[in-house]
Each structure stands twice: as structure tokens, then as C-alpha cells.
């Protein structure tokens, strides 16, 4: 088994060296890591190069156009040139793996469970666990009801490349009609605040310049679909594998996306659309 780690970042100079050091320290060494900088305006690139220090397992991609999170992840996975049985690992540039045994734990889980994907568990840098550290209930798995259930498929997220290949890339695209439906739903649910913030948002504002990829919430877009396809072949890992760093939780907004409140409500609109999309069918084999 080989891991292909994709790390997308923007203005992550406060965290990227820790991130890369944690990857380089892994006891399971059969991996490559693709680092993608999305035109940072700080010294992220310099910090990234310093931390890599010539390690040939790392590949640095410096964007010449703004792509945003989702398109960076999609492009990074394709750049990996993975085999079907290889495993993709996604890490945000301002977070890090919990210790040197993370990849080995994930590899052991795939070998033991014969699973197609894994999720969980994580903690904050201050030591507190995140609220998503538990598996989906059997009834949720049986009914394929992930979108109607509180979100639990948190980091660390990994999946076989051949599962990724089953996705229709249209999952990363949202239409104006879907936006209108969410505005109406906000009124039906007596949520005028959401309607107010969403009232003038067009689908184009949620995507990158190509119009094919939502800028954010890529993890829910593909993870919902993967959970639905995988069912019991998705394994929850109880071990803490991932650390959210405090700068991430209180950091400044991406000014390429808009003001802080605008960014927040755009993200909430995307999340609502994804919750009401048609679920994928369960796969009998991969």
C-alpha cells in the first residue's frame, strides 16, 4: 500500500513547518506528499521549502492562478498518479498529523477491515477532542441517511483512489436553482437571518473561475458520496490521528473569498445544498 498525501494551503506560514515535520516523521514511509500553495501572500512558500529540506517524497506545486480549496484537492489527487489500491490522505495546510504512527494505524485499518475509506479521530491543539469523534450508528449506515444525520466524518479522512474514481465530478458544482431552493427552505423553517444573507448569492460566487468547483466544503461534497457508496466498508478510527491548530480556528478570513461574514454565509449555503442533494447508491463491490 502506498499513501498519497495532498496538502492544500493558503497563508499557512504559521503552521506549515509543523505540518511537514509531522509527515516526514511517519514510521510508515511508503508515501508521497503533494504540497499545493494557492498564491499565498505571506512567506508560506519559504517555510514550506525549508521544512521539506530536499526530501524527494515531497512535491511542491505553486499555483499561478487562484484555485481555492476544492479545485486544489481535485488537481492534487490527479497529480498523484495513484494506483487503484493506493490510499489518498487529505491534510489541511494549517493542521497536522497527531504523531509518527498515524499512517501505520491507517494502513493497519485497511488491512484488518478490508475497507474502502476511513474517518476520525481528531483533537484541538489544546488537547480537547472534537465533537465528531464517534462512528455513524448502524441505522444511519443501513438507511444510507448520512445527509440527514449530524456530521461525524471528520479528519483524518482517507480513501482508496478507486473509490475516488467512482465520483461524478459534478458533486463539486451547485446550481442557481439549488440556491433558490435553500432560500425558500430558510423561510419555511422560519430562519429569516439565513434568507437575508443568502438572498443575493448567485451560484457563480460559490465556485472558482471555471465554474466547476465549489470553493469550500469539498470534504462534505465527496465524503457524503463516499460514505453512501461504502456503507459498512467505511471504517471509523478511534485513535487520535489529526490535530486542529488554534490559529486555524481563529485565523483571518481568506480575503480572496470576501469579507468574513460573506465567507461564512457562502459556506453555510453550500453545506445546506449538499445536505439535500440526492444520495449515491450503495456499491456491492469496488
Residue (of 212, 161, 131) closest to 3 by Cα position: 161
The predicted structure's pLDDT at residue 249: 41
The predicted structure's pLDDT at residue 250: 40
The predicted structure's pLDDT at residue 251: 45
Domain boundaries of the chain, sorted by first residue: 3-275
Residue (of 90, 95, 131, 151) closest to 275 by Cα position: 151
Which residues does 148 contact at the CB level (< 8 Å), separation at least 6?
275
Beta strand 95-97 with 242-244: parallel, antiparallel or unpaired? antiparallel
Read off the pTM: 0.94
Q: Residue 119's beta-bridge partner residues?
A: 236
Asked if the 3-275 domain carries CATH number 3.90.550.10, the reply is yes
The predicted structure's pLDDT at residue 125: 87
Q: pLDDT tens-digit profile of 106-160?
A: 999 999 999 999 999 999 988 888 888 999 999 999 999 999 999 999 999 999 9
The predicted structure's pLDDT at residue 129: 86
For residue 97, give the 3-state DSSP assignment: strand
- C-alpha separations of 270 from 52, 156, 183, 208, 265 in Å: 34, 22, 12, 13, 9
Low-confidence ranges of the chain (pLDDT < 50): 248-251
Amino acid at each position: 500500500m502506498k499513501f498519497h498525501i495532498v496538502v492544500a494551503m493558503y497563508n499557512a506560514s504559521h503552521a506549515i513547518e509543523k505540518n511537514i515535520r509531522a509527515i516526514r516523521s511517519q514510521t510508515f514511509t511508503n508515501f508521497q506528499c503533494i504540497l499545493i500553495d494557492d498564491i499565498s501572500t505571506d512567506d508560506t512558500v519559504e517555510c514550506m521549502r525549508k521544512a521539506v529540506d530536499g526530501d524527494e517524497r515531497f512535491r511542491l506545486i505553486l499555483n499561478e492562478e487562484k484555485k481555492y480549496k476544492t479545485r486544489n484537492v481535485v488537481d492534487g489527487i490527479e497529480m498523484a498518479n495513484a494506483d487503484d489500491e493506493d490510499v489518498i490522505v487529505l491534510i489541511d495546510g494549517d493542521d497536522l498529523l497527531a504523531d509518527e504512527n498515524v499512517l501505520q494505524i491507517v494502513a493497519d485499518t485497511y488491512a484488518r477491515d478490508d475497507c474502502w475509506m476511513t474517518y476520525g479521530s481528531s483533537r484541538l491543539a489544546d488537547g480537547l477532542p472534537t465533537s465528531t469523534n464517534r462512528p455513524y450508528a448502524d441505522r444511519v449506515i443501513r438507511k444510507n441517511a448520512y445527509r440527514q444525520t449530524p456530521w461525524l466524518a471528520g479528519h483524518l479522512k482517507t480513501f482508496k483512489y478507486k473509490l475516488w474514481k467512482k465520483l461524478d465530478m459534478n458533486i463539486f458544482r451547485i446550481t442557481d436553482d439549488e440556491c433558490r431552493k435553500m432560500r425558500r427552505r430558510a423561510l419555511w423553517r422560519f430562519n429569516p437571518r439565513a434568507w437575508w444573507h443568502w438572498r443575493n448569492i448567485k451560484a457563480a460566487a460559490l465556485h472558482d473561475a471555471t465554474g466547476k468547483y465549489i470553493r469550500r466544503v469539498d470534504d462534505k461534497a465527496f465524503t457524503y458520496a463516499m460514505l453512501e457508496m461504502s456503507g459498512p466498508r467505511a471504517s471509523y478510527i478511534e485513535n487520535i490521528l489529526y490535530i486542529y491548530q488554534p490559529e486555524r480556528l481563529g485565523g483571518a478570513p481568506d480575503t480572496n473569498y470576501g469579507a468574513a461574514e460573506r465567507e461564512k454565509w457562502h459556506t453555510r449555503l453550500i453545506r445546506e445544498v449538499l445536505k439535500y442533494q440526492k444520495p449515491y447508491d450503495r456499491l456491492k463491490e469496488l
